[in-house]
Amino acid sequence: MTERVVLAYSGGLDTSVCIGWIAEETGAEVVAVAVDVGQGGEDLEIIRKRALACGAVEAEVADARDEFAQEYCLPALKANALYMDRYPLVSALSRPTIVKHLVAAARKHGASTVAHGCTGKGNDQVRFEAGISSLAPDLKCIAPVRDYAMTRDRAIAFAESKNLPIATTKKSPYSIDQNVFGRAVETGFLEDIWNGPIEDVYSYTQNPAEPREADEVVITFEAGAPVAIDGRPVTVLQAIEELNRRAGAQGVGRIDMVEDRLVGIKSREIYEAPGAIALITAHQELENVTVERELARFKRTVDQRWGELVYDGLWFSPLKRALDGFVDQANQHVSGDVRMTLHGGRAVVTGRRSDQSLYDFNLATYDTGDTFDQSLSKGFIEIFGLSSKIAAGRDLG
């Protein structure tokens, strides 16, 4: 039986060329797998037919939008996942989703190898291959762009020589990756970190400097998950999609940053993630209302580590799974409503309410009805500062 390779297929030039390239270099048959995580663009059936026309022996497409939102975006929301305190893991979250479908296809079609179109400079090669090795240690991985020096000019020449049904002349000045949770843009003039982004870079968001009416939204959460918007029940996917539209229309979620890649280099990235940023902002505030102080302090440390693991491609690692359990437990009381104003590129919380609230008005108020016994504070301060006082006596004596 001829050996088979499962290819993560996007429908673009590089992965279309990879089909014939892999066949020539390895002698294997190629099974193309395209996974819809809300990236938009072409119809999946058109992509499937293109893969077959480019030489794939089989081609599969999967609508994984709800799966991606529920099983990958939602855990990130519960963990307030922001790599380097800013990036909501747009691309990093989609890779394990795709990996799961690639491994399933490899089992179904009897493939021994999985291929992807990543370069040797980015994070995605790690995310794909570390994920595949965690789910299926017996599978091999190849990356034609990295392993066989498949440069763009060589890819174009190959496509033209084989008359592949793919456009080979138009080249975007940017490298773009997008899904329902957000959009990532890099390369081109953005590689000079002194150059500011221009409006052409953006697609999910409108210019926040343009005058427009503010938009007020109320998001309802149950155990950390968004379940309603303005009182209307929604799925996680629907919540992200609606807030992409509404927050995006207000310019919310634009991020311009230099980030630390796993491979050791710094990279300038432009992100736009209006729904993700609005939801994380609301979720963080509801945690402030419902999560006990010491748990909240420790969770911030867990949230950061969770985000680093996912960014680094370790979604299926033992530590990530263990932290998932903590994050779910910490979210058990994160239920209630958060009201936000979306305007001028910002999502600003203006109200919060919850049956699980730890906020006690009578303890917090400075007016009549105050139930906080202030006389207890003097002794508390004496004991709280005692160790520092003793040390100061030694060090200043």
Judge whether residue 158 has pLDDT over 80.
no
Q: Is 70 exposed, middle or buried (0-12, 13-18, 19+ CB in 10 A)?
A: middle
Annotated catalytic residue: which of 112, 175, 203, 377?
Answer: 175
On whether residue 239 sits in a domain, the answer given is yes
pLDDT digits (tens, 9 = 90+) for 47-64: 999 999 999 999 999 999
DSSP three-state, residue 51: helix
Strands across the sheet containing 113-115:
58-63, 29-36, 4-8, 113-115, 140-142
Of 148, 171, 194, the residue that ends a domain is: 171
Which residue, among 37, 13, 36, 298, has the nearest Cα to 162 in the 3D structure? 13
Residues placed in the known binding site for ATP: 8-16, 117
Claim to verify: residue 253 and residue 286 sit in the same structural domain: yes
Cα dist. 123→60, 310, 362 in Å?
25, 11, 51
Q: Tens digits of per-residue pLDDT, 214-254? A: 999 999 999 999 999 999 999 999 999 999 999 999 999 99
Q: Which residues participate in the annotated binding site for L-citrulline?
A: 87, 123, 127, 175, 259, 271
Q: Is residue 145 part of a domain?
A: yes
For residue 28, being part of any structural domain is answered with: yes
Is 262 domain-assigned?
A: yes
Per-residue model confidence (pLDDT) at position 368: 82
Tell me, yes or no, whether 144 and 213 share the same domain: no
The pLDDT tens digits for 113-140 are 999 988 888 899 999 999 999 999 999 9
Mean pLDDT across the stretch 78-104?
Answer: 97
Instruction: Tell me how far the alpha carbon of residue 385 is from its chain's centroid.
Output: 43
Tokens of residue 163, six digits: 């008359």
pLDDT at 1: 67
In the predicted model, is pLDDT for residue 166 greater than 80? no
Residues 131 and 21 in one domain: yes
Instruction: State the total domains in the chain.
Output: 3
Can you give the CATH number for the domain in which 128 is found?
A: 3.40.50.620
Give the mean pLDDT of 131-152. 89
Residue 164 binned pLDDT confidence (cut-offs 50, 70, 90): confident
Annotated binding site: 8-16, 87, 117, 119, 123-124, 127, 175, 259, 271
At 263, which CATH number?
Answer: 3.90.1260.10
Question: Does 7 have pLDDT greater than 70?
Answer: yes
CA 285 to chain centre: 20
| 220 in a structural domain | yes
Same domain? 161 vs 23: yes
pLDDT at 36: 95
Q: Is 375 a catalytic residue?
A: no
* Radius of gyration of the chain measured on its C-alpha atoms: 25
Same domain, 25 and 155: yes
Residue 260 has pLDDT above 80, yes or no: yes
Check whether residue 216 and residue 108 sit in a common domain.
no
- The tokens describing 8, both together, are 């993560």
**171: confidence class by pLDDT, cuts 50, 70, 90:** low
One domain for residues 85 and 115:
yes
The set of residues, in sequence order, having a beta carbon less than 8 Å from that of 31 and lying 6+ positions away, is 4, 5, 6, 7, 56, 57, 58, 59, 60, 105, 109, 111
Quick check: is 147 catalytic? no
What torsion, rounded to 10 degrees, do the Cα atoms 62, 108, 317, 298 define? Answer: 40
Residue numbering of the annotated binding site for L-aspartate: 119, 123-124
Residues 24 and 109 in one domain: yes
Kindly state whether residue 204 falls inside one of the protein's structural domains: yes
Of 121, 142, 171, which residue sits at a domain end?
Answer: 171
**Span 319-340, pLDDT tens digits:** 999 999 999 999 999 999 999 9
320: Cβ contacts below 8 Å, ≥ 6 apart = 306, 309, 310, 314
| Confidence (pLDDT) at 163 | 75
- Mean of pLDDT over the chain: 93
Based on the fold, state whether residues 249 and 349 are members of the same structural domain: yes
Please, what is the end-to-end C-alpha distance for the chain in angstroms?
Answer: 84
* Residue 321 covered by a domain: no
Let me know whether 90 and 143 are in one domain: yes
Which letter does DSSP use for residue 134 in this model? H
Query: Confidence band (pLDDT; 50, 70, 90) for 98?
Result: very high
pLDDT band at 147 (very low <50, low <70, confident <90, very high): confident
Distance CA 219, CA 232 (A): 9
How far is residue 262's CA from residue 303's CA, in Å, rounded to a whole number? Answer: 18
Q: Is residue 153 annotated as part of the catalytic site, yes or no?
A: no
Contacts of 193 (CB under 8 A, 6+ apart): 258, 268
- Expressed as residue numbers, the domain containing 378 is 368-396
Q: What percent of the chain has pLDDT over 90?
A: 79
Band of residue 66 on the pLDDT scale cut at 50, 70, 90: very high
Q: Output the CA–CA distances (angstroms, integers) from residue 48 to 21, 97, 111, 301, in the order listed.
A: 18, 19, 19, 43
Candidate list 124, 177, 303, 312, residue with the active-site label: 124
Residues 215 and 342 in one domain: yes
Residue 61 lies in a domain: yes
Query: Which of the residues 65, 95, 268, 352 is marked catalytic?
Result: 95
90 with 116, same domain: the answer is yes
* Across 284-311, average pLDDT: 98
**Angstrom distance (rounded) from CA 28 to CA 19:** 10
Active site residue 138: no
